[in-house]
Every structure is written in C-alpha cells, then in structure tokens.
Amino acid sequence: MSLDESELRSHLMDLVGIRSPIVAAALLQLVVELRLAEVLDTKGLERIKEAIVAAAVQRRPSHRFAADFEMEVRAKLDRLIAGSEARKG
C-alpha cells in the first residue's frame, strides 16, 4: 500500500512527535520558506531541529530508550525537512 505525499507527511510528523497537524504543517512550511528565502541558515535549522528532538524525547513512550528514540526522531525529522525542501526547490 502506497501512501500519498499528504499521508506520508502526516505519518512522519506523528512519528516525530508533533501531535497537532496544523502546527506541524505550519512549522514545516515556515522552515522550508525561510530556507528558500535564505533567511534561515544551516545552524538555525539545526537549532530548530534540536528543540523539536528535545521536546519529543521528553514525551517519548516510557518503554522506549531515550537514545534510540532520539535517533529515530532525528532521522524522521531530517527526512521530513529534506523532502519538503526538495518539493519546493
């Protein structure tokens, strides 16, 4: 079964730990637009990602190890942002 772009984005945002789809979509779009306008540099993007990862790790399921969960969240967040930038660029 293949997921369309919207379903994939929703699924990845949920896995990353961003629960509100409206806030998640807005944040993702804002990051992409700021990157395309060259207002947000790589260091700024990394700080945003670090804040998201830290919040997700704090709210992780109790049965998950923090290090494993953090690595998974980072990978999925990178995939989300890279995919969105590729579609816009």
The domain limits of the chain are 5-88
What is the Cβ-side half-sphere exposure of residue 57, based on CA atoms within 13 angstroms? 17
Indicate the range of 5-14, 64-73, 78-87 predicted with least confidence.
5-14
Tokens describing residue 34: 């700021």
Give the Å distances, CA to CA, from 32 to 54, 78, 80. 21, 12, 10
At 28 the pLDDT is 82
Query: What share of the chain in percent tops pLDDT 90?
Result: 16
| Predicted TM-score of the model (pTM) | 0.68
DSSP state letter for 59: T
Measure the CA–CA gap between 12 and 24, rounded to whole angstroms: 10
Of the pLDDT bands very low, low, confident and very high (cuts 50, 70, 90), residue 1 is very low
> pLDDT tens across 61-74, in order?
888 888 998 998 89
